[in-house]
Amino acid sequence: MISALQTLIARNVQSAHNAVVSITQVHSGSTWNVIPDSAWLEGTVRTFNQDTRELIERRFRQVLAGIAAAFDTDIILDWQPGPPSVNNTAKWVDFALAHGEGSGFEARRVEASPIGEDFAFYQQKLPGAFIMIGSGGPYALHHPQFRVDDRALFPTAHYLSQLAVQALRTLSEEILRKDKIA
């Protein structure tokens, strides 16, 4: 079943529409010598757009129905869509980069990544930029040995607070300009 679900991306999603299916948990049984009567799997689906996400859900349901029929069993899919894709606005990315460099950070633009982040719900309402700040450690965010270097906390808080002040100033100026034109 896991292999069938993982194969969905290669067979159904255009390569330009990147998507990731990760089955991250498999649970079944409680001892080595008894065939369990149930199992459950859990994971994530990450996409860059809603159409691809809906396609994957539809194909999940079709594949699981086929597996259930082939093995004369029941499969229940509890699809939790999670947050939408993070879609940064170029204006606010440039704004954050400019202020990051001005704050002494090594600011750089990174390639889009299909991250699952609640911030995306805000981006459905307002344009914005999701900012990732590293602390210089040897391990990536979801690595089991990841640790934040406490020395990064104060400079990060300072940068984000200054960024918020500058963003509010910029937005206020834009509103005032629009009012003068109207």
In terms of domains, do 95 and 155 share one? yes
In a domain, 80, yes or no: no
Give the whole-angstrom CA distance, residue 110 versus residue 27.
Answer: 36
Q: How many CB atoms lie within 10 A of CB 129?
A: 20
Q: Could you tell me the CATH number of the domain that includes residue 56? A: 3.30.70.360
In a domain, 85, yes or no: no
In terms of domains, do 174 and 104 share one? yes
* Average pLDDT value for the chain: 89
Give the whole-angstrom CA distance, residue 19 versus residue 51.
Answer: 11
In terms of domains, do 110 and 142 share one? yes
170's CB contacts (< 8 A; 6+ apart) are 95
The per-residue DSSP string of the chain comes to -HHHHHHHHHHHS-GGG-EEEEEEEEEE-SSTTS--S-EEEEEEEEESSHHHHHHHHHHHHHHHHHHHHHTT----------S------HHHHHHHHHHHHHTT-------------THHHHHTTS-----------SS-TTSTT----GGGHHHHHHHHHHHHHHHHHHHHHHHHHHHHH-
The average pLDDT across 147-164 equals 90
pLDDT tens digits, one per residue of 81-92: 888 888 899 999
**Are 29 and 36 in contact, with CB atoms under 8 Å apart?**
yes
In terms of domains, do 170 and 106 share one? yes
In terms of domains, do 96 and 176 share one? yes
- Among 37, 71, 105, the domain boundary falls at 71
Domain that holds residue 123: 90-180
In terms of domains, do 41 and 116 share one? no
Task: Please give the pLDDT value at position 110.
Answer: 83
In terms of domains, do 66 and 108 share one? no
In terms of domains, do 115 and 142 share one? yes
Task: Please give the pLDDT value at position 182.
Answer: 60
Side chain identity at residue 65, one-letter code: A
Task: Please give the pLDDT value at position 15.
Answer: 79
In terms of domains, do 95 and 169 share one? yes
In terms of domains, do 103 and 63 share one? no
Of 47, 40, 79, 73, nearest to 60 (Cα)? Answer: 79
In a domain, 139, yes or no: yes
In a domain, 16, yes or no: yes
In terms of domains, do 1 and 59 share one? yes
**Are 63 and 122 in contact, with CB atoms under 8 Å apart?**
no
Inform me whether the pLDDT recorded for 32 exceeds 90. yes
What's the number of domains the chain is made of? Answer: 2
Confidence band (pLDDT; 50, 70, 90) for 181? confident
- Among 42, 71, 100, the domain boundary falls at 71
Angle at the Cα of 12 (from 11 to 17), degrees rounded to 5?
115
In terms of domains, do 27 and 103 share one? no
Q: What pairs with residue 170 in β-bridges? A: none
